Amino acid sequence: MQNKVHQKINLATIRLSRFKQNGFDYIRIDFPFDDKLIHSVKKIEGASWNKSNRCWLVPNKQDNLKAIQTVFKGLAWIDSKALFASRHKKDQKNKYRKPAINLNPTAKQTIIDFEKFMVAKRYSVNTIKNYISLLTIFLSGFPAKNPEEISNEDMIEYANEFIVKSGYSINYHRQMVSAVKLFFSIQLKRKVELELLIRPKKEDKLPKFLSREEILKILLATRNKKHKLIILLLFGCGLRKSEIPNISLSDIRRDVNLIQIRDAKGRKDRLVPLPVKILSLMELYYKEEKPKKYLFEGQTGGKYSAESVYQVVKHAGKKAGLMRPISPHMLRHSYGTQQTEQGINTLTLQKIMGHRSSKTTEIYSHISQKQIGNTSSPVDNLDIGI
């Protein structure tokens, strides 16, 4: 009996904590060097050694938490205080950020009327959805007031006490301001000064893109022809996620290797080059799937959804073993970046990608690794004795 107690006291301690890397959530496992513990941790699905932080990482999911308890049972004490403390903190933050929807009858009706106005003015479905959602959140901040009773001071307080202090992004803040401004000017015939809601400057962030090696890994890991074709159209033609489901069979111009993109962002049509390799895969896919109206159709017919496009790309990135989350827009940005590296004319690229302003297209020249890597430094012209 004493030996068993003594053995328990001398067990190693394994400490668990939350670890984020490249957008993925992991459970960090720390323990003193021990061959038995190393052998055990390798049994957990997705376990990997992080050399720079000298710890083991496993994907943060419930199954892996149970696996940790199972493989180390009888070998070590498990200290998970830090892990659950960070989870609780995250839950509290999410709870704080989600506002309660509490609209009075007048506010509800005003929003319904405003939505009818946006539909009549042919705003895009996404814009209507976003604006109505933002206005619902905004007006819920004043449950005791009708919209026309909301004062300038109320708006200033809302911007400071809710949007900023709740940690919302600058992009969210800007969208909220745009929605409120349009709502008050159209629905209540009242001009709103942008300064009241402290509209922040747009963040000057470089878009995320993928290297050629990463794209090749994704394509090689994707066996399904439909999924591979979706990925190739995003990367090989620079299409948006929302444009993929709208491609009808009649939009494919095989005779001139072009795709007609209709009613895209800003309600604009454009022509996009269709590479021969993509056309070849498209013909093989067509013979197998036999779509009736749209190039990509759901299991029960009709349009494929933009959310399905997103999920295809997300899972393809995971299957390829990439250590960061992948999105359709990253593939589009990769098209712009690599075309810039190959010397395409900015105006041509602007037309292909459907940018309203050439400034949007010029951002790809700032993230071109080839151009940056080939840029010389003033130090190159100095003899510094090395």
Instruction: Please list, in sequence order, all residues whose beta carbon lies within 8 angstroms of the beta carbon of residue 272, skipping any fewer than 6 positions away.
Output: 237, 238, 239, 258, 259, 261, 352
132 and 231 together in one domain: no
- Model confidence band, residue 267 (pLDDT cutoffs 50, 70, 90): confident
- Phi-psi category of residue 221: left, alpha or beta, with phi > 0 → left and psi -120 to 50 → alpha: alpha
Does residue 155 fall inside a structural domain?
yes
115 and 175 together in one domain: yes
Residue 118, SS3 per DSSP = helix
Quote the domain boundaries for residue 42. 2-93
Token pair, residue 251, equals 């939009």
Q: Are 113 and 183 in contact (CB under 8 A)?
A: no
256 pLDDT exceeds 80? yes
Q: What percent of the chain has pLDDT over 70?
A: 82
pLDDT of 195: 55
Q: What is the mean pLDDT of the chain?
A: 81
29 pLDDT exceeds 90? yes
9 pLDDT exceeds 70? no
- Model confidence band, residue 228 (pLDDT cutoffs 50, 70, 90): very high
pLDDT of 385: 45
- Model confidence band, residue 4 (pLDDT cutoffs 50, 70, 90): very low
184-193, 201-210, 236-245, 342-351: segment of lowest average pLDDT: 201-210
What is the number of domains present in the chain?
Answer: 3
Consecutive H or E run containing 67:
helix 62-71
144 and 16 together in one domain: no
pLDDT of 231: 95
CA distance 64 to 94: 23
218 pLDDT exceeds 60? yes
218 and 354 together in one domain: yes
Its pTM stands at 0.55
Region 217-235: mean pLDDT is 94
Does residue 380 fall inside a structural domain?
no
Q: What percent of the chain has pLDDT over 90?
A: 32
CA distance 298 to 355: 29
- Amino acid occupying residue 100: A
81 and 112 together in one domain: no
pLDDT of 126: 81
259 and 316 together in one domain: yes
- Model confidence band, residue 367 (pLDDT cutoffs 50, 70, 90): low
Region 76-88: mean pLDDT is 74
Residue 49, SS3 per DSSP = strand
138 and 163 together in one domain: yes
User: What are the φ/ψ torsions at residue 355 (nearest 5 degrees)?
Assistant: -80, 140
pLDDT of 219: 93
Q: For residue range 304-328, list pLDDT tens digits in order.
A: 888 899 999 999 999 998 888 899 9
CA distance 176 to 369: 35
Q: What is the CATH number of the domain that holds 274?
A: 1.10.443.10
pLDDT of 143: 86
Dihedral sign for Cα 341, 345, 346, 350, please.
negative
Region 212-238: mean pLDDT is 93
* Residue-by-residue DSSP string for 144-184: TS-GGG--HHHHHHHIIIIIITTT--HHHHHHHHHHHHHHH
Does residue 381 fall inside a structural domain?
no
Return the higher-pLDDT residue of 266 and 18.
18
- Amino acid occupying residue 138: F
CA distance 308 to 294: 15
pLDDT of 92: 43
pLDDT of 95: 39
pLDDT of 88: 47
Q: What is the CATH number of the domain that holds 147?
A: 1.10.150
CA distance 144 to 43: 58
Q: Are 320 and 221 in contact (CB under 8 A)?
A: yes
Give the β-pairing of 252-253 and 24-30: unpaired
Does residue 146 fall inside a structural domain?
yes
217 and 358 together in one domain: yes
Residue at token pair 């328990």:
8
46-50, 164-168, 278-282: segment of lowest average pLDDT: 164-168
Return the higher-pLDDT residue of 93 and 299.
299
Region 354-376: mean pLDDT is 65
293 pLDDT exceeds 90? yes
CA distance 339 to 345: 9
E-strand ranges in the chain read 12-21, 24-30, 48-50, 55-59, 76-79, 252-253, 258-261, 270-273
Instruction: Please list, in sequence order, all residues whose beta carbon lies within 8 angstroms of the beta carbon of residue 281, skipping any fewer than 6 positions away.
Output: 225, 228, 229, 232
Token pair, residue 224, equals 């399904």
CA distance 131 to 309: 23
7 pLDDT exceeds 50? no
Does residue 344 fall inside a structural domain?
yes
pLDDT of 343: 84
Region 337-361: mean pLDDT is 85
User: What are the φ/ψ torsions at residue 259 (nearest 5 degrees)?
Assistant: -120, 130
Does residue 291 fall inside a structural domain?
yes
127-141, 305-319, 362-376: segment of lowest average pLDDT: 362-376
pLDDT of 162: 77
- Amino acid occupying residue 386: I
170 and 110 together in one domain: yes
Cα torsion through 89, 93, 95, 97, rounded to 10: 180
Q: What is the CATH number of the domain that holds 83?
A: 3.30.780
Q: For residue range 61-72, list pLDDT tens digits in order.
A: 877 888 898 898
CA distance 316 to 228: 9
pLDDT of 6: 41
pLDDT of 325: 86
